[in-house]
């Protein structure tokens, strides 16, 4: 879950504006991201990225920042 968030944030910083854009960016950059992470990378589908974001516990996230 954390890795999907990390990768999607990198994609957003690179200009991705949708879950599909994020998934495409991750797939295109797969080789470079595998080196960065230090292991092989199976790019997540856009539905996986969407589901991760939809299931973030916002209350728990807020408690981390307070």
Nearest-angstrom CA–CA distance, 40 and 38: 7
Q: What is the pLDDT of residue 24?
A: 98
pTM: 0.87
Convert the pLDDT of each residue in 28-38 to its tens digit. 999 999 999 99
Handedness of CA 47, 52, 53, 54 (dihedral sign): positive
Q: Where are the domains of the chain?
A: 2-65
- The token pair at 66 is 């307070």
């Amino acid at each position: 879950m954390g890795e999907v968030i990390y990768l999607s944030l990198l994609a957003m910083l690179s200009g991705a504006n949708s879950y599909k854009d994020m998934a495409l960016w991750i797939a295109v950059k797969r080789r470079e991201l595998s080196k960065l992470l230090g292991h092989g990378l199976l790019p997540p589908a856009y539905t996986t990225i969407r589901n991760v974001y939809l299931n973030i516990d916002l209350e728990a996230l807020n408690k981390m920042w307070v």
